[in-house]
Structure 1
Amino acid sequence: MACRTETLISLLLLLSLSLSLSSLPDDSAEKSALLRFKSSVSDPSGALSGWSDSPDSAACSFSGVTCDPSSGLIVALRVPDAGLAGGLPADLAGLAELRVLNLSSNRFLGSIPPSFSNFSSLETLDLSNNQLNGSVPRLLASFPKLQTLDLSFNRLGGLIPDEIGENCGNLERLDLSANFLVGGIPRTLGNCSKLRSLLLFSNLLDDVIPPELGGLRKMEVLDVSRNSLSGIVPPELGKCEELSVLVLSNPFNPMRHLDDSIYGGIDDCNYFQGGIPESVTRLRKLRVLWAPRATLEGEIPGSWGACESLEMVNLGQNLFTGEIPRALELCKNLRYLNLSSNKLTGWIHEKLPVPCMDVFDVSWNQLSGVIPKFLSDSCSSSPLLADGSSSEYYSFFRRSTLAGTSAPYFDSGGDDLVYHSFGRNNFTGNLPTLPISTDKYGEDSVYALLADGNSITGQLTDVLFGKCNGLKGLVANFSNNLISGVIPAEIGGICKSLLVLDAAGNRISGEIPKSFGALESLVRLDLSSNRLQSETPVSFGNLKGLNYLSLARNNLSGSIPAGLDSLPDLKMLDLSSNSFSGKIPSGLANLKNLSALLLDNNKLCGNIPSGFAQVLSLSAFNVSFNNLSGPLPLNASTIRCDSVIGNPLLQGCHVSSLSVPPADQQADGGNSPIYADSPPDSTPSGTSMSSSGFSSIEIASIASAAAIVSVLLALIAIYIYTRKCAPRFACRPSGRREVTIFTDIGVPITYESVVRATGSFNASNCIGSGGFGATYKAEVSPGVVVAIKRLSVGRFQQGVQQFHAEIKTLGRWRHPNLVTLIGYHVSESEMFLIYNYMPGGNLERFIQERSKRATDWRMLHKIALDVARALAYLHDHCVPRILHRDVKPSNILLDKDFNAFLSDFGLARLLGNSETHATTGVAGTFGYVAPEYAMTCRVSDKADVYSYGVVLLELISDKKALDPSFSSYGNGFNIVAWACMLLRQGRAREFFTEGLWDVGPHDDLVETLHLAVMCTVDSLSIRPTMKQVVQRLKQLQPPTC
């Protein structure tokens, strides 16, 4: 019996051991899956070199692998930023208990394998910053335990699946930003009750922000910027009690470090309706509210809750009206407030915590009163945005903002720059003392105070600069005000840290203090357009860091200080319109960085130093209207005849050269840079008229006759060119020469600078002409080029006041694919608009010259989408709605990267009822005008759709709208009829430009052709809207690799 018992016990022990062994994890299976993963990817950096198939090497010991200590199974695989490349292998699905998969910042391609649905225990999936394409997989609903999903910075397209919100009870972080996702934001995301961070920025999403997101009570960060969203900002977001960061729009590209050819077509603006709901501004934990350039309107909410957490608010470049809310005075932690470029009125109150703010910008509004002496209580010492995501947003926004302000003038590192801008308002009263708290002082702090473009009076007193020496640097811009008096004689001692002083366009008188030479930190000095007199101090030669000096349009006299030629960093020297005498210092030609030298309208004499012939950096040179003599420097490519006129004794330029552009410029349409032409060949200076034997009377007679003939020829040429390029009334009474500016481009633009930069609208600078007038290229400052559209005054029936109102309405609108209206001038005798200059020409020239470049379907698609977006914005987001009425290739401009921009928008509104725009009896151009518009003059957005359809047909074909090859088909046959004929006959392939069918996806090409034809059908109800065109083109987004 005992023997049987012992046998039974032995059997039980053996069975237990067997069961125990069978329950051990199959390490070999998981190891094999990892080794297959290794073999299927490229690993140039050897990140996986330690993964060995040796029997002594366990999978749990592999780098990046984590195993559960109790079960021994692999629960985490982390191999980020390792340079791995290839497709995501389906073999990884063999890791059935995987909880964390992080393969971010590698170079994985292809789509996410369906086999990943086996990861039922997955809690973190991070595949960000790769090159994955395809769509967001619907299998995400298979991950009930998922807490973090990050697929950002890839090339995923298509819709965000609704299934993403059907099984997301544990999801805390969802990041799908920086992809090519289209459609709307799924309303099902409102089911993700634990979601804390939702990042969808930089996609192609449209539709609206779903109000269901208000159900995410734990959400802390919401970023939907850089899409094409519209509608209202849902007040339901006010239910998100934990919301800390809300980003609705963002002009700063977070993908600037990535390939522009991939991400360059992503829109950077949402276009909302209405304003910011008060329910949002009352959120107690709100730290960052970022919504610039989002077409928001109405009044800024007056209630901001207790706002003890509020630190950053950016509502700039919108349409807000009313006053700055008094409630913001209670926001003691507010460090960043940007309300610039709105239509705000009223006063700034002294309790607003401006002295404690790193960034305060209320420029370009209609604020009035005095800039107050703010109550500078000590600033809050609470840490700013201490948590991770909020801190990242604060740093990025602050750094991006300051990079576009005064930062280029100095090197502060940006971290300790305090920037306060009150510019371009209606402020009055005396100059303010520096509104900066003592808590912001320090040897590492740089303070920028901008109050330009107001009606501020007072003097540049010691009080203004009294705090200067407590800073690392001071940037002060008080230009274009009513400041008078003299510059403090002690300025060099009381403000040694002065970096930038711009006091141009004031009434400052007296002498320039000699103590300026002690300002060794000075980088930029602009005292132009004042009433300064006497001589310029020689001590300027001590300013070794100076790179910009303008003393133009004063009453300065004496010689040009010799010390200026010892400033190695000097790039811009403008001493024009003074009474300087003596010679041009030859040492100026030794300044290797000098790009602009403007000495015109003085009393200088002697020769132009020969050394200027070798100054390759010089792009702007003007010594006209002095008393210079002698020959021009040989081979001086930067010296043009119109930059030396008014020097009767100067040799080398003929009279005809001063008025008539050279033949090569005539043929080129005036595209040459203003200062880039070489002077015409000149008669050698040694040649003497008297050596031919003529008497003095004969010489005088010949000279007089030659002068008369030359002048007559010049007048005839001027008449011909101005009739062609810039028709005008013969009589122009003088009027106010004010230029209204909508967009600050970093340099002042005045009526005089426009006239000077265009050579008084010289035909040599004309780059195009149309029904509204001629367009000129103008370099208003060294390296700063704009386009000036000089309008034909007689064509506009409105009065000056109505014209002002219409243009100001156009100046409000901003879109990435609209040419930026920088500013304008209007008077009874002169009208011109100032636009940003596009170096890539227009689409008409692009089409004509397409044979010079390889056919690129992605480029053509992008141009089509850019233009469609611009028209959709004009039709759907502008109030009142803007109809273009003359969409054609010549009105579509391109930059150097072939981004497309629509021009001449809104100008048709300025025409009287009897006026025409081009060659038809209505606004428009033959071949592009919708048939119903041409017959009835009935205006609608569908007429623009028709014109767009014709442009799209031209873009993808080798034909013009009214191509000569259509003549054999009879009258009335055009590109629309040709497209319809080829589609009916099944010959669509013949429509496309040479080579396009070979490189582009055939189905998408045919769909694009169908879309263009749909835009041109006779029935207005069948024609799509431009918003529908945009949506369809997004669905036809070509592959990115």
Structure 2
Amino acid sequence: MFRLKMRHLMCMVALLAVAKLVFGSVNSFNDDVLGLIVFKADVQDPAGKLVTWNEDDITPCAWVGVSCNRRSNRVTELVLDGFSLSGRISRGLLQLEYLRKLSLASNNFTGTISPGILRLSNLRILDLSGNSLSGTLPDEFFQQCGPLRSIALARNSFNGQIPSSLSSCSTLAALDLSTNQFTGSLPAGIWNLSGIRSLDLSNNMLVGEIPENVGVLNNLRSIILKKNRFSGVLPDGIGSLLLMRTIDLSENSFSGKLPDTLQKLALCSYLDLHGNRITGELPAWIGVLKNLETLDLSSNTFSNSIPATIGNLNALKVLNLSMNGFTGSLPDSMASFTELLALDLSQNSLLGNLPSWIFKFDGHQDDTFSASFGSQISTATHTVSQKLQVLDLSNNAFSGGIASELGDLISLQFLNLSGNSLVGTIPSSIGKLKTLAKLDLSINHLDGAIPVEIGEVVSLQELRLESNLLSGNIPTSLGSCSSLQVMILSHNNLNGPIPVSISKLNNLQYVDLSFNTLSGSLPKQLGNLPNLRSFNISHNNLQGELPAGVFFNTIDPSSVSGNQYLCGSAVKKACPSVLPKPIVLNPNSSGDPVSGSSPSTLGHKKTILSISALVAIGAAAVIVVGVIAITVLNLQVRTSASRSADPIVLSGGDEFSNSPSLDGNTGKLVMFSGDPDFSTGTHALLNKDCELGRGGFGAVYRTLLRDGRPVAIKKLTVSSLVKSQDEFEREVKKLGKISHPNLVALEGYYWTPSLQLLISEFVSSGSLYKHLHEGNGNILSWTERFNIILGTARSLAHLHKHNIVHYNMKSSNVLIDSSGDPKVGDFGLARLLPMLDRYVLSSKIQSALGYMAPEFACRTVKITEKCDVYGFGILLLEIITGKRPVEYMEDDVIVLCDMVRGALEEGKVEECVDAKLNGKFPTEEAIPVIKLGLICTSQVPSSRPDMGEVVNILELIKSPSEGQEEELI
């Protein structure tokens, strides 16, 4: 249908062209209708925004997004910003001869763009920003930019160099190529566009220097070059740009000192040079730039003191001088910052008391001070307290106390005074800061109690008071801070219990109360906190049992260490139960023994058995019974081995057919394909020569069917745990119906009450474990490893689709066939157990050390498909690195996922790839695959993807552009 419609449109366009040639002219507005309809044909419009565009209309002037000249009825503007459109930008737009503005911003158009767009002789504004356009811009792209005034290609994926033909756009006033992947140096002609007013090339990978002739751009109002790789010194010529309002050269590699010519930029309101290598002092002339509202010089290497003239910048709203080498005290002149919203002076070497003008102006004014700075400072209460939202003075050498007037900063949202030498108490006025989201007073010398008024800061999300001298109890009022996510109070002298009110904080994620003297038991309600990720209570005097729940059952032992009387699985100490009184047995009494009875008046001696004695006796009895049971079982096995002539009731032909009832000496064999017997007989099952290996559920043997085809037989060693015959057969038949190219096919089973066999296809090339770790001379290539990962993922996704959890993912359960493809075996065997008791289960798969998801250790967490995802993630990392999940060194234990995660954080993830590959692997595949493995091994089950999603991601990594058209107009 779509092709027929396109042919219809193309025919209409062709007929129109013929008509023009024959008759010289046609109804002119038909060009616009046809051009827009052709454009629409290449566009996907999920929101139905273009539903009014009808090819039968005479004129498009009433269509959504279209504007026309009233006299000529020709389209002059096409504005479709944010319409959720996708597809290609069609050549149909070239029919819009009178188009002055084309804006398709904030959609999802793909492909490249045609230089033909710029040949529209009337086009003034072109905005294609915020799409997914890609490719390089050909060098001739801008050659016919004509009367264009504004070009915006920002937030796309263009790459390569910016074309030198840009210098042809002599009428250009605004150029925005930000947030792309442009590389190389800028074309020299860009500095000759004397009419340009706004230049934004930020967020690219551009290199080079700003030339001295930058002053030619004397109409420039805004230059934004941040987040590139520009270098060199800032040229003096920048001071000639007298109309400049915005300068953002941040996050580059500019060096040298600030050019003195900058002081000529009297109109400049925004100056951001952070993240460069600028050196020297902050010059006194900075105070001349009185229109500055934002001054950010952070992350450079400025030194010496902050000049007093900075106080002349009384229009400042944002001042950031952090991460430099400023010294000395803050000048009092900064009290003139009455419009200040954010002040960041962190990570310098500033000293002295916290400046009083920040908290409250004391009304005194030095006349010399007024004369020096040429501005009158009001003697009224300082108004900065009404507006300041961010205050960061951390990591300096400030001393003294925190004034009670802190509470006057009623708009404050972020307060960080950490890493100084502050003394005294935390003022109770902190409770007045109703909008405060982060409070960090850590690493100081503050003492006294945490004020109860802190509970009034209901917007608080992060509280850090660690490494002080605070004492007293943790205030119960903290339970009112319902937004709190982070609470760090470690390394203080806090005492008393952990308040129950903390358990109300459902948003709480990170808690650290370590290295205090807290006592009492942990509130049980803490186990109900839904978002906890870390809860460190180590090195206190806490006692009793850890709270039950998902988090505390798997808590890191280091987070609870140093509490002598804590008990629970995390501290490996059983909790004492309430014990009854000792039982007193009177040998002369015919009645029941009485607990705690009075001494007998007879001369007979009493016999007293403590609970521990009774437990010991009971344990001994259990051991005796166990020994007898094992002896009997061994005798049965030997008897069955010698009695190879036991009759086997065969059941073949019909799929999953049933046998007659069995007595104790009768076995039942069911072959799903109908094969009736083994050529070597069941004695092969006891022959060590036929054994292929052993696992948690039993030994595996190789034998032959009558037709000579080999099969693998697993002799289950969990007979005492296996379900009844009916349930066993029902579960095995379900597994037998599961068919997938990457799963080992289950071909049948054998049942007696004391012996159960599973018959599977035989996979010839052995296990993945042997290929990875038992060097048979054949090194798996990258392609083979990737295919094994993908095939294994597909098999697990197939199992999960049928509600089957594997439970036992490991490299020894992944077999390799003669074609090198993986086949996953031993799936679903846990379904044969009467119940999925994780402790029985974990003992059966203890050989899977390192593959087991952390929730196996938690009684209350449901075992789901996410356990398989975790095991698959470990397996993936094992395949990529060639290392076992856990490797024991002479003095260390290396956990694979921790090692890889550490390498990723250090930017050395490529070093994790198996050295046996000798670097022969594609980085663009290896790194995403490794990251996928780490995501699959997340400690939180809900953070792991589904196996279906894993398959999709792997297929995308393997063929990232498959099926995508790169051609555009």
Q: TM-score range by the shorter chain?
A: 0.5 to 0.7
Looking at structure 2, the residues matched to 525 and 487 of structure 1 have their Cα atoms a distance apart, in angstroms, of 13
2:414 aligned residue: 448
2:353 aligned residue: 370
Which structure: greater strand fraction? 2
2:565 aligned residue: 604
The 3 A distance-change label for structure 1 pair 492 and 325 is closer
Letter in 2 for 1:602: N
Looking at structure 2, the residues matched to 150 and 136 of structure 1 have their Cα atoms a distance apart, in angstroms, of 17
SS in 2 for 1:369: strand
Looking at structure 2, the residues matched to 97 and 246 of structure 1 have their Cα atoms a distance apart, in angstroms, of 36
Contact 1:281 1:301 in 2 (8 A): no
Looking at structure 2, the residues matched to 106 and 561 of structure 1 have their Cα atoms a distance apart, in angstroms, of 52
1:219-272 per-residue CA deviation (whole Å, 9 max, x = no partner) reads: 2221112222222222322222222222223xxxxxxxxxxxxxxxxxxx5222
Looking at structure 1, the residues matched to 852 and 34 of structure 2 have their Cα atoms a distance apart, in angstroms, of 69
Contact 1:498 1:522 in 2 (8 A): yes
Structure 1 residue 369: Cα displacement: 1.9
Q: Percent identity?
A: 26
1:829-869 per-residue CA deviation (whole Å, 9 max, x = no partner) reads: xxxxxxx4559462653883988xxx758669x99xxxxxx
SS in 1 for 2:142: helix
Letter in 1 for 2:424: G
Looking at structure 2, the residues matched to 1000 and 679 of structure 1 have their Cα atoms a distance apart, in angstroms, of 38
Q: Map 1:78-227 to 2 at 5 A.
A: 78-130=79-131, 131-135=133-137, 138-168=140-170, 170-227=171-228
1:420 aligned residue: 391
Compute the RMSD of aligned alpha carbons: 5.0
Looking at structure 2, the residues matched to 562 and 999 of structure 1 have their Cα atoms a distance apart, in angstroms, of 51
Looking at structure 1, the residues matched to 81 and 478 of structure 2 have their Cα atoms a distance apart, in angstroms, of 55
Looking at structure 2, the residues matched to 675 and 365 of structure 1 have their Cα atoms a distance apart, in angstroms, of 45
1:290 aligned residue: 272
1:711-769 per-residue CA deviation (whole Å, 9 max, x = no partner) reads: xxxxxxxxx988x67xxxxxxxxxxxxxxxxxxxxxxxxxxxxxxxxxxxxx125879x
Structure 1 residue 111: Cα displacement: 3.8
Contact 2:134 2:158 in 1 (8 A): yes
Between 1:545-554 and 1:118-127, the stretch displaced more is 545-554
- Indicate yes or no: 2:571 matched with 1:623: yes
Q: Map 1:322-337 to 2 at 5 A.
A: 322-337=304-319
Contact 1:134 1:155 in 2 (8 A): no
The 3 A distance-change label for structure 1 pair 152 and 518 is closer
1:294-352 per-residue CA deviation (whole Å, 9 max, x = no partner) reads: 23333333322443332223332333322234333222232222222222222223442
SS in 2 for 1:320: strand
The 3 A distance-change label for structure 1 pair 629 and 355 is farther
Structure 1 residue 142: Cα displacement: 2.6
Q: Map 1:547-946 to 2 at 5 A.
A: 547-561=509-523, 564-565=526-527, 570-581=532-543, 583-587=544-548, 598-604=559-565, 608=568, 623=571, 763-765=892-894, 836-837=905-906, 840=909, 842=911, 844-845=913-914, 848=917
SS in 2 for 1:296: strand
The 3 A distance-change label for structure 1 pair 297 and 515 is same
Contact 2:353 2:399 in 1 (8 A): yes
Structure 1 residue 135: Cα displacement: 0.9
Looking at structure 2, the residues matched to 101 and 149 of structure 1 have their Cα atoms a distance apart, in angstroms, of 10
Looking at structure 2, the residues matched to 858 and 546 of structure 1 have their Cα atoms a distance apart, in angstroms, of 38
Contact 1:273 1:295 in 2 (8 A): yes
The 3 A distance-change label for structure 1 pair 556 and 225 is same
1:112-156 per-residue CA deviation (whole Å, 9 max, x = no partner) reads: 334445422221122223324331553534334211111223333
Letter in 2 for 1:468: G
Contact 1:465 1:495 in 2 (8 A): no
- Indicate yes or no: 2:341 matched with 1:358: yes
The 3 A distance-change label for structure 1 pair 672 and 61 is same
The 3 A distance-change label for structure 1 pair 220 and 1000 is same
Contact 1:578 1:602 in 2 (8 A): yes
Looking at structure 2, the residues matched to 30 and 512 of structure 1 have their Cα atoms a distance apart, in angstroms, of 73
Looking at structure 2, the residues matched to 850 and 671 of structure 1 have their Cα atoms a distance apart, in angstroms, of 29
- Indicate yes or no: 2:484 matched with 1:484: no
2:726 aligned residue: none
Length, aligned pairs only: 607
2:75 aligned residue: 74
Letter in 2 for 1:481: N
- Indicate yes or no: 2:261 matched with 1:279: yes
Letter in 2 for 1:483: L
SS in 2 for 1:452: coil
1:7-50 per-residue CA deviation (whole Å, 9 max, x = no partner) reads: xxxxxxxxxxxxxx999973334444444444455555554444
2:296 to 293, 296, 314: 314
Q: Map 1:439-478 to 2 at 5 A.
A: 441=410, 445=411, 447-460=413-426, 464-473=427-436, 475-478=438-441
Letter in 1 for 2:216: G
Looking at structure 2, the residues matched to 111 and 541 of structure 1 have their Cα atoms a distance apart, in angstroms, of 55
The 3 A distance-change label for structure 1 pair 44 and 628 is closer
Letter in 2 for 1:428: S
Contact 2:850 2:895 in 1 (8 A): no
Contact 1:89 1:113 in 2 (8 A): no
The 3 A distance-change label for structure 1 pair 32 and 446 is same
Contact 1:282 1:304 in 2 (8 A): no
SS in 2 for 1:93: helix
Letter in 1 for 2:160: G
Contact 2:288 2:312 in 1 (8 A): yes
Looking at structure 2, the residues matched to 245 and 356 of structure 1 have their Cα atoms a distance apart, in angstroms, of 19
1:568-604 per-residue CA deviation (whole Å, 9 max, x = no partner) reads: 55543322212223x2154466879988982211221
Looking at structure 1, the residues matched to 471 and 465 of structure 2 have their Cα atoms a distance apart, in angstroms, of 12
The 3 A distance-change label for structure 1 pair 627 and 483 is farther
1:915-937 per-residue CA deviation (whole Å, 9 max, x = no partner) reads: xxxxxxxxxxxxxxxxxxxxxxx
The 3 A distance-change label for structure 1 pair 152 and 494 is closer
The 3 A distance-change label for structure 1 pair 82 and 151 is same
The 3 A distance-change label for structure 1 pair 858 and 559 is closer
2:400 to 429, 432, 435: 429
SS in 1 for 2:413: strand
SS in 1 for 2:285: coil
Structure 1 residue 475: Cα displacement: 3.2
* Uncovered stretches (5+) of structure 2, i.e. residues with no partner: 1-22, 362-385, 578-618, 620-768, 775-809, 811-847, 859-886, 935-957
Looking at structure 1, the residues matched to 967 and 35 of structure 2 have their Cα atoms a distance apart, in angstroms, of 31
Looking at structure 1, the residues matched to 429 and 296 of structure 2 have their Cα atoms a distance apart, in angstroms, of 31
* Uncovered stretches (5+) of structure 1, i.e. residues with no partner: 1-20, 250-268, 379-414, 610-621, 631-650, 652-662, 681-719, 726-762, 769-775, 779-784, 788-818, 820-835, 864-892, 899-997, 1002-1037
Q: Map 1:331-350 to 2 at 5 A.
A: 331-350=313-332
Contact 1:499 1:524 in 2 (8 A): yes
Looking at structure 2, the residues matched to 849 and 586 of structure 1 have their Cα atoms a distance apart, in angstroms, of 50
The 3 A distance-change label for structure 1 pair 199 and 540 is closer
